[in-house]
């Protein structure tokens, strides 16, 4: 991951996402291989306390002290991380206000909804100002409004140059906020930006909407196209291309010379859902 990046880790239940986070955050030992957080090795017992100081974790089970107030929960963890009192007060107030919970600061965490508990867990993970934040399904079981609050908060953290490792199986969420994505299904299946993954499923294609389609137009398109030419309903040609920016002018010229009247041209690509399902089902 790069600094200030939101990295998405996608996979079905049981794929190993939570186990991976637990290894990277030094909660459990790795079985093989190597991984580094910053300049530290997760397998080195001397490095593990240093890793814990530079990371924050929002686990799949928030694990708050429910009898304590929101404020005291954060204060407890701030003390644990040895954040000095002035900075601790400032950061507690900052995060509770940012998450719309300042007026709830004196209420016991056990009285909160799932969404409020999740927001409090996020604030807890940031109380010591970590460089890297690990989030395990942060919007799972939240209503749409609470999910949007969490997503917006993740994007706000990105603007502050926080690096975020996001476990999720919410494809829409990953597509909206992640810079790069890895798809896991007990092993790494794919890795890249959302756009790169979408193109990987079936390559790049352009869709040409025509006034009408005939054999001469189809033949002309096939002569210059680098990929397959498919005829669709409603006078559409779907044409496989390697580099549409370079190839489109020649394709459009050939279609026009054959008498085709082009109404509009769009690029078609697979969705992230298409890629995900194709990879997961291939095992």
Structure confidence by residue, pLDDT tens digits, 107-135? 999 999 888 898 899 999 999 999 999 99
- Say how far apart CA 5 and CA 88 lie, in whole Å: 26
**Looking at residue 68, what is its pLDDT?**
96
Residue 215 and residue 152 in one domain = no
Residue 40 and residue 161 in one domain = yes
**Looking at residue 283, what is its pLDDT?**
60
Determine the structural domain holding residue 109 and report its residue range: 6-192
For the segment 26-40, the average pLDDT, to the nearest whole number, is 91
**How does pLDDT run across 61-100, given as a tens digit for each residue?**
888 999 999 999 999 999 999 999 999 999 999 999 988 8
Q: What CATH number should be reported for the domain holding residue 242?
A: 3.30.70.100
Q: How far is CA 159 from CA 33, 128, 155, 226, in A?
A: 32, 18, 6, 41
Structure tokens at 10: 């996608």
**Looking at residue 100, what is its pLDDT?**
86
**Looking at residue 244, what is its pLDDT?**
84
Residue 109 and residue 26 in one domain = yes
Residue 265 and residue 174 in one domain = no
For the segment 262-275, the average pLDDT, to the nearest whole number, is 83
Asked if residue 19 belongs to a domain, the reply is: yes
Q: At what angle do helices 70-80 and 114-126 cross, to 10 degrees?
A: 30
Residue 16 and residue 114 in one domain = yes
Residue 216 above 90 pLDDT? Answer: yes
Asked if residue 224 belongs to a domain, the reply is: yes
The domain boundary residue, chosen from 130, 159, 192: 192
Least confident of 136-140, 153-157, 268-272: 268-272
Residue 24 and residue 128 in one domain = yes
Residue 80 and residue 186 in one domain = yes
Residue 21 and residue 112 in one domain = yes
When divided into structural domains, the chain yields a total of: 2
Structure tokens at 83: 């954040």
**Looking at residue 79, what is its pLDDT?**
94
Give the confidence band of 49 by pLDDT, cuts at 50, 70, 90: very high
């Amino acid at each position: 991951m790069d600094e200030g990046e939101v990295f998405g880790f996608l996979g079905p239940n049981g794929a190993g996402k939570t186990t991976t986070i637990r290894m990277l955050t030094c909660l459990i030992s790795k079985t093989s291989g190597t991984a580094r957080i910053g300049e530290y090795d997760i397998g080195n017992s001397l490095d593990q306390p240093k890793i814990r100081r530079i990371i924050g974790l929002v686990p799949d089970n928030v694990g708050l002290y429910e009898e304590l107030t929101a404020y005291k929960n954060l204060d407890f963890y701030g003390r644990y991380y040895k954040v000095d009192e002035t900075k601790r007060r400032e950061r507690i107030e900052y995060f509770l206000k940012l998450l719309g919970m300042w007026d709830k600061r004196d209420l016991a965490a056990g009285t909160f909804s799932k969404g409020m508990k999740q927001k409090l867990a996020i604030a807890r993970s940031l109380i010591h100002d970590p460089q890297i934040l690990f989030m395990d399904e942060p919007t799972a079981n939240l209503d749409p409004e609470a999910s949007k609050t969490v997503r917006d908060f993740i994007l706000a953290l990105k603007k502050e140059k926080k690096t975020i490792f996001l476990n999720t199986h919410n494809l829409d969420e990953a597509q909206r906020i992640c810079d790069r994505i890895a798809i896991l299904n007990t092993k790494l299946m794919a890795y890249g930006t959302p756009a790169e993954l979408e193109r990987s499923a079936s390559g790049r294609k352009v869709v040409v909407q025509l006034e009408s389609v005939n054999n001469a137009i189809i033949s002309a398109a096939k002569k210059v196209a680098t990929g397959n030419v498919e005829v669709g309903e409603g006078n559409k040609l779907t044409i496989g291309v390697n580099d549409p920016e370079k190839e489109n002018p020649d394709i459009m010229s050939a279609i026009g010379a054959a008498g085709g009247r082009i109404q509009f041209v769009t690029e078609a690509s697979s969705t992230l859902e298409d890629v995900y399902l194709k990879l997961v089902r291939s095992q």
